[in-house]
Amino acid sequence: MITTNSGSIGVSKRDNCRKTFIDSLDSQNQQQSEKTSRIVDAISRAFADTSALLKHECAYCLGQMGNKYAIEKLIHVLNDSNEDSMVRHEAGEALGALGCFDNQNVIDALTKQSQNSRAEIAETCQIALDRLAWLRKNASNGTSSTSTDRSFPTIDPAPPLAPKTIDELKEILLDEKRSLFERYRAMFALRNIGTDEAVLAICEGFRASSALFRHEIAFVLGQLQSVCSIPALHQQLSILDENYMVRHECAETLGSIGTDECRRILETYLKDEERVVRESCEVALDISDYVNSTDFQYCNGLKLVESECC
């Protein structure tokens, strides 16, 4: 079972990663609450766990919650050279999501790590810096910095481009001479279109040289949950020497689509040599259960955390 100690999310070695992961997710839902600082502390204590999957999800939650109190904790994780690259990447992206373009500590940390030798960390931090620069420019112009499409309530690492044709957006998406930030913007614009043609265009992004970019492709496909993407996701998951971040995201996206075919694919990788992939498949199968059952209590962890830390 999951226990909490002094407001922490406690994880014993016997705990199933899928349950721990599921409980961490619900903390995103408590935005703008007087309790969020304590919840930030509770989530942050889970960074002591050994599961990179859990820790990366905690970093994601902290970015989505929008509480600036998390900045110091996220900077610490980003700068920790002993931490898993996937977790550090997520901390960098979370700092961009918080949108504090006038916080010099954030700018300094992202600038420093944009030169990291690990491409997924360096690229994440550059995209976050580009997002903050975009927010600063829009703030000075007095224009809105939010997307008008509310079908996807997440804080994205880049704003979608203005409406263009699918072919135009796909050209930008696949153009490796452009910045990752601009290509991300094309990706999110295609996501907002959401047709089968747009989904297939997004799938072509798996051809990109950047593992970070391929991982974001899988994440966006998870938001769309289109069966059209199953073959591409399966193909990417099956590449055993693919970056584990990409395979992890493909697994979770297959879980969110939740068809019988997706379940069969996921069950194949439950004993994968890569721990993050194994755990992601466990989580994905529970996500699939949720997708296919009105009785499955998928995210009730926030009540547990609140009862202990608030």
Q: Which residues are annotated as a binding site for Fe cation?
A: 56-57, 89-90, 215-216, 248-249
In the numeric block, the tokens 């481009």 are attached to: 161
- Extract the annotated binding site: 56-57, 89-90, 215-216, 248-249
